[in-house]
Amino acid sequence: MATRWFGAPVQRTEDPRLLRGKGNYVDDIDLPDMLHAAVLRSPHARARIVNIDSSAARELPGVHLVLTASDLGEVLEPSPLLVPHHALTQPRTQLPLALNEVYYVGEAVAFVVADSRYIAEDALDLIDVEYEPLPVVHSLEVASAKDALLVHADVPGNIAAHFVQSVGDPDNMFAQAPHVIRETFTMERGAAMPMECRGILARWEAHEGALTCWISTQGPIPIRNGLAAIFHLPEHKVRVIAPDVGGGFGPKIMLFYPEEILTPFAAIRLGRPVKWIEDRRENFISTNQERGQIHEVEYAFDEQGILLAIRDTFLHDTGAYTPYGI
């Protein structure tokens, strides 16, 4: 047992299959009568939606469905919060499709299903959205300034959460410390950039009342449970399969991305399998990223330079929404 697990390399069981091109990712799965979806996204970081005219897109040959927020009925609800926390007093999660306002570049505004991705993309160009651009809150400094513009009108001071945590007696340590150093650290947002972007294929079997989804995700079970609740299905009638996942790194554990609701919704509405695959540009602007931060840090040292205590006051930029929590 010792030579098997310690001091010797453990062979990875999946490598030969993947290196030989035998992997099975969401976009490798094709089903009979499958349709393809594309998403119209906001070009504005903040704007009011004045009007959406999708009539020309609906008339394009090969288009089977065009969805805007007004078409979603009871499914038009904010996504559940992944990790609730008592300090998160003003959580905000996004709708599957923007209704009255958009809050970031890349927010989903319309969803098109067609015979091919090419036709779906052409249909997106035919959707006429009239926006009224609004002032943008684009940084932590702007968001935290006195009398700052509000990202969400009902979130005072743009503060989603105020969380204080203390271990030991740092105040006493700082009061006694002969040396205190103060530093400011700024951490930019980070993007995971998996080789495989997000994707979902949904199939509805009306005769069984069963929904099957193949999703490039790190959290198939919570997505299964959530889809069952959203579409009022017994959990045993919903199956979520995560095939080979070409990189996740955290963003693929989020739920729900709009496409994870819209694609099953379309499959149920049309009675045909529907596939949506994220392209790289969409990944840049619509997949969750690591949050920007500004840290004001104090370090307390004794005469020998031994660290006694740390005090960190920081701002944490969740972006337009709080998909993860704290």
Q: Kindly indicate the confidence band of residue 75, based on its pLDDT and cuts at 50, 70 and 90.
A: very high
Higher pLDDT, 239 or 323: 239
Mean pLDDT of 281-309: 96
**pLDDT of res. 193:** 93
Residue 7 confidence (pLDDT): 73
Name the token pair of 243.
């095939």
Q: Give the pLDDT of residue 326.
A: 79
The mean pLDDT of 40-49, rounded to a whole number, is 98
Residue 81's alpha-carbon distances to 58, 103, 255, 323, in angstroms, are 33, 18, 8, 6
pLDDT at 1: 47
C-alpha 227/C-alpha 267 separation (Å) is: 13
Taken in order of first residue, the domains within the chain and their CATH numbers are: 14-136+191-286 (3.90.1170.50), 140-189+291-316 (3.30.365.10)
| Per-residue pLDDT at 254 | 86
- The whole-number pLDDT of residue 11 equals 79
List alpha helices for 52-126, DSSP H: 55-59, 117-126
Name the one residue in this structure whose structure tokens are 């996740």.
248
Contact 52, 110 (CB under 8 A): yes
Decide if pLDDT at 136 tops 90: yes
pLDDT of residue 5: 65
pLDDT confidence band for 305 (50 / 70 / 90): very high
- What is the rounded average pLDDT of the residues 86-98? 96
The average confidence (pLDDT) of the chain is 95
Read off the tokens for 252.
Answer: 């693929």
- pLDDT-based confidence at 83, cuts 50/70/90? confident
324 against 156, higher pLDDT: 156
- State how far the Cα of 51 lies from the Cα of 68, in Å rounded to an integer: 11
The reported pLDDT for the residue numbered 81 is 87
What pLDDT is stored for residue 325 in this prediction? 79
pLDDT tens figures, 197-235: 999 999 999 999 999 999 999 999 999 999 999 999 999
Confidence of residue 3 (pLDDT cuts 50, 70, 90): low
Percent of the chain with pLDDT over 70: 98
**Rounded Cα distance, 58 and 62, in Å:** 9
pLDDT at position 10 over 80: no
Q: How far apart are CA 51 and CA 208, in angstroms?
A: 39
Alpha helix segments (H runs only) across the chain: 2-5, 15-19, 55-59, 117-126, 140-144, 170-176, 220-230, 258-270, 280-286
For the residues 242-256, what does the mean pLDDT come to? Answer: 93
